[in-house]
Amino acid sequence: MISEALFRHISMMLILVFSSVLPAEGRFSVALNREQNDEDTEVRAIRYTYGINVGSYFANDGTANYYNGSGRHSLESAINRQHNYNRIRESIGYDFELHALPMDMAYNPAMMVGVFGTLMVGERTGIHGEFNYTRLRTEDYFSLKLDRPSFIEGDNIYLYPLRGSEERSEIRLGLQHTAETEGSSVHPFFETGLSLINTRVRENSARIGNSSYSIRNISDTYYDFRDDGIGYGGYASLGLRLDIGDSYALSIGAGSSFININLGDYDGFYLNYSLFARIFLTQ
């Protein structure tokens, strides 16, 4: 199992490398001396690109029910704690009980940002690395049944929002192949490789009236216990690169990752999607 400290170290190393002051697309000239003779020298060009990713991330909804208040982080336990119960009763004016939980929560589409770099090992093929970050949010409604006379069925049932949010940081390492056509400035490319992803819960709360109530397990909160972790998997992307000049370009594409999301009891592989645009920075 890869520790979170090692994951963060790898992430920082990638960011520092990709953010170094280099032209977006360049060549290093490497001299290989043969028999210590300056007149017999071979020069080889090493090409590289780097830049930033921006786009949209569409998470698989298979883990969203982690936030619905039915598991270790129980909504019923949270609202029935004496101090919470008294505040809620004062807000809504009646005694109450939990009526129903949402059972089909879904993530909202989220913005994704990151950095990338590619070291070319051939005319069209390179070793590609990425670091991407996204913050996901999910929201649905639960219901409370108020302890008051009701002459119409359901008249004493009220809906309130239940929210969750998490951060995902993903490292990708693989190969990129570009189909370059002579005389054209548009080039399709394909990428595939391995991924590491760190998932971290940021919020799980219910809102009743004008107040929010955390439903995180009270002992987990006290001891700062994290019910999340690191997973692994693979990814693939397709896109088009548009050459703007000799040393910079733009690209657009779509990708998917089949990856292990380690979130509480949801320790399984899920298919996620993304749309992205890449900006190749200039010096």
pLDDT tens digits, 57-87 = 999 999 999 999 998 889 999 999 999 999 9
**Distance in angstroms (rounded) separating the CA atoms of residues 17 and 27:** 16
Domain span at residue 116 reads 4-280
Predicted confidence (pLDDT) at residue 32 exceeds the cutoff of 70: no
**Distance in angstroms (rounded) separating the CA atoms of residues 129 and 73:** 36
Q: What is the pLDDT of residue 41?
A: 45
The distance in angstroms from the start CA to the end CA of the chain is 39
- pLDDT interval class at 142 (50, 70, 90): very high
Mean pLDDT for 126-143 is 96
As for how many domains the chain has, the answer is 1
Q: Which residues pair with 218 in a beta bridge?
A: none
Residue-wise pLDDT tens digits, 165-183: 999 999 999 999 999 777 7
Sequence-distant (6+) residues with CB within 8 A of 97 are 144, 145, 147
Task: Give the CATH number for residue 53.
Answer: 2.40.160.20
Q: What is the pLDDT of residue 39?
A: 46
